[in-house]
Structure 1
Amino acid sequence: MKIMENAILTMKVRSTMQTRLSKTRLVILTVLSLLLEGCSISDWYNGYYAEGAAIIKGQKDRNAFYDAESPQIKDLRSKNDAYCRGLASKKENAMPMKGYPNGVFNTPMYDGCMENRGTPMYETYVSNRAKKRDAERRARGEIVPY
């Protein structure tokens, strides 16, 4: 009889310990699932992080481009900026756009003016570099000509 009581007592202790352990595991899993459900790692990395990293890299590249200019080029850029901005913002050069009866600032004219006067904008510089790279790759046969 004593052996039977000891066996029953041992089984109760084991089941209590197992229940406590499984409750702890359940709580941990529930907390982790709630945390990960709110913000998926792939969504964060592919969306927020990748976009933010690209913006920061672009800003650094842009600042490096303008900071590398000599003082003479910076002076020329400020003169060209004043001239081209005045030219592109004239009423007769305004680009027609729906909802704007007087048109909008002519950005393509401004960018072209700056490039023609010897101080291209960063975006134009990057675009020209990409065109050169594509032409070189076409010449080597890596890209099918268009």
Structure 2
Amino acid sequence: MKLMANATLTMGVRNTMQTRLSKKRLVILTVLSIVLEGCSISDWYNGYYAEGAAIIKGQKDRNAFYDAESPQMKELRRKNRDYCREQASKPENRVARTGFPNGIFNSGMFELCMINRGTPTYEAYGSMLEKKRRAERRARGEIVPEHQ
């Protein structure tokens, strides 16, 4: 009988030890899964964080472009923007689109108006710089002309 009691006591201690170890493991796994769930690999893989960083960089570049202008240029840009916006939103200049009976704002006309008046928008300026860089690379022979 005493042997049976010792065996039961030993099994009880062993079960208690196993329970404590499994509880610790369960707690560690739960904490790790909660932490890793907040920043899962799929978020990094699909470019969520990279896209956010690119947006922030673009906004900083855009703000730097407009902040670098002189006060006279800012005033000229404001006047040109008002004039070009008025021209592009006139009913006769609106672009016809399905679902918009009155048409939509003519953004192409707005961009060209701003360029022609000497105050290109940040987007148009970037496009103009890209064309200039491409022409320079083509002149150096780094890019083969398209029409050969």
What TM-score do the two structures reach when normalised by structure 2?
Answer: 0.78
Counterpart of 1:103 in 2: which secondary structure? Answer: strand
In the alignment, the residues of structure 2 paired with residue 64 and residue 30 of structure 1 have an alpha-carbon distance, to the nearest angstrom, of 46
Corresponding residue number in structure 2 for 1:84: 84
- Given the alignment of the two structures, is residue 43 of structure 1 paired with residue 75 of structure 2, yes or no? no
Label 1:36 to 1:63 Cα distance change in 2 as closer, same or farther (>3 A): same
Deviations 1:26-81 (A, max 9, x none): 232134335534x4522333444222222211111111100100112111111211
Deviations 1:66-111 (A, max 9, x none): 0100112111111211221111111111000111111111000000
List runs of 5+ in structure 1 lacking aligned partners. none
Corresponding residue number in structure 1 for 2:128: 128
Number of residue pairs matched? 145
Give runs of aligned pairs for residues 25-40 of structure 1, distance below 5 A.
25-37=25-37, 39-40=38-39
Counterpart of 2:103 in 1: which secondary structure? Answer: strand
Corresponding residue number in structure 2 for 1:66: 66
Corresponding residue number in structure 2 for 1:52: 52
Q: CA RMSD in A?
A: 2.9
Counterpart of 1:102 in 2: which secondary structure? Answer: strand
Label 1:11 to 1:137 Cα distance change in 2 as closer, same or farther (>3 A): farther
In the alignment, the residues of structure 1 paired with residue 90 and residue 30 of structure 2 have an alpha-carbon distance, to the nearest angstrom, of 63
- Given the alignment of the two structures, is residue 137 of structure 1 paired with residue 134 of structure 2, yes or no? no
Give runs of aligned pairs for residues 95-114 of structure 1, distance below 5 A.
95-114=95-114
In the alignment, the residues of structure 2 paired with residue 119 and residue 13 of structure 1 have an alpha-carbon distance, to the nearest angstrom, of 82
Amino acid at match of 1:96: A
In the alignment, the residues of structure 2 paired with residue 139 and residue 10 of structure 1 have an alpha-carbon distance, to the nearest angstrom, of 87
List runs of 5+ in structure 2 lacking aligned partners. none
What TM-score do the two structures reach when normalised by structure 1?
Answer: 0.78
1:7 is displaced (CA, Å) by 8.6
Between 1:18-27 and 1:63-72, the stretch displaced more is 18-27
In the alignment, the residues of structure 2 paired with residue 138 and residue 87 of structure 1 have an alpha-carbon distance, to the nearest angstrom, of 36
In the alignment, the residues of structure 1 paired with residue 34 and residue 87 of structure 2 have an alpha-carbon distance, to the nearest angstrom, of 58
